[in-house]
Amino acid sequence: MTSIAFLGIGLMGRRMATRLAQAGLTVRAWNRTFAKAEALRGTGAEPVAELAQAVQGAQLVISMLEAGPVVGELIDAALPALDAGTLWIDMSSTRQDEALAFHARLVAGGCRFIDAPVSGGVGGAEAGQLAIMAGGAAADFDQVVKILEVMGRPQLVGPVGSGQVAKLCNQLIVGATLNVVAEALLLAQAAGADPGAVREAIRGGFAGSRILEVHGQRMLDRNFVPGGQVKSQLKDLRNVLAAAQGAGLTLPVTELVTRQYEAIEGGLPTADHSAALLALEQMNPGIRLGNAADQLP
């Protein structure tokens, strides 16, 4: 696995492809907007304008794209140029049924597939500290685990499609916790306590979490310039609800959190998902966390 085609040079993909190239791997970078791929030239990656040229001869294809339909389109377009036995790792966040369909298409074309969505945001991608949740055959995972370790901490969680299930579980917890942190800080503000001091006081207890650590501070700073975006969080929560419906489950907290993100998605789709605070403030006119100006995309 020395020749890699990396498809999708967005907020996350740019950092992930950069880490692979700087680790000495041969990386061909492709993006529909070629200028984004071209920006990686100084990292050691080779920008490629044509999709077929990017994937031809690649032993490993990694995609990091916006949503399942885009991944499906690229697989269909790339299949004629793929060598037999090529392993495709999709690190995008999609539905489980989409991942299973990608697997079926690639296997029919003589290739292999792993779904390996990630968590950790732009900061985790830049630092090579992403949580990587992989679904696929153990032999395929073992073949690429060292490459995945360049980008973070990979864990095989089951057969194809299981990575997307794990990511949905992750996003359910992230989305709900973001809203609960927003409620806690706004309650502290409204009740007369210092919300920053409250955050400090509870960080070491059972309420401590990465969300409280990173996004609690973002809310206090009113910094909504994106790492993870509102529209992506909302997409993932809708996928959680679709998966729950398929499994015969009712998830009332996820339904509530989804409505909170729907309340701000129309106006601030690209804001950081910590903008859950803004949806809460809309429900409580006259109550605002802190005095800082909003930093928005």
Q: What average pLDDT score do residues 48-59 get?
A: 94
User: pLDDT tens digits for 67-120?
Assistant: 899 999 999 999 999 999 999 999 998 889 999 999 999 999 999 999 999 988
The pLDDT score that the predictor gives to residue 192 is 97
Alpha-carbon distances, residue 128 vs 85, 208, 283 (angstroms) = 27, 23, 38
How far is Cα 162 from Cα 96, in angstroms, rounded to an integer? 7
Q: Is the dihedral of CA 224, 230, 236, 242 positive or negative?
A: positive
Task: Please tell me the CATH code under which domain 3-158 is placed.
Answer: 3.40.50.720
DSSP string across 124-179: HHHHT-EEEEEES-HHHHHHHHHHHHHHEEEEEEESTTHHHHHHHHHHHHHHHHHH
99: CB partners within 8 A, 6+ apart:
68, 90, 113, 115, 135, 160, 161, 163, 164
Alpha-carbon distances, residue 11 vs 4, 18, 77, 227, 284 (angstroms) = 19, 12, 23, 8, 32
Q: Taking the model in full, what pTM does it have?
A: 0.83
**Average per-residue pLDDT in the chain?**
94
The pLDDT score that the predictor gives to residue 1 is 67
As its CATH architecture, domain 165-283 has Orthogonal Bundle (1.10)
**Per-residue pLDDT band at 37 (split at 50, 70, 90):** very high
Check pLDDT > 90 for residue 66: no
Annotated domain spans of the chain: 3-158, 165-283
Residues with a known catalytic role: 167
Q: What average pLDDT score do residues 168-197 get?
A: 96
Q: What average pLDDT score do residues 11-35 get?
A: 94
Check pLDDT > 90 for residue 11: no
How far is Cα 148 from Cα 145, in angstroms, rounded to an integer? 5
The alpha carbon of 227 is separated from its chain's Cα centroid by a whole number of angstroms, namely 9
Given its phi and psi angles, is residue 156 left (phi above 0), alpha (psi -120 to 50 degrees) or beta?
beta
Q: What average pLDDT score do residues 148-157 get?
A: 97
User: pLDDT tens digits for 226-278?
Assistant: 888 999 899 889 989 988 998 899 999 999 999 999 999 999 999 999 999 99
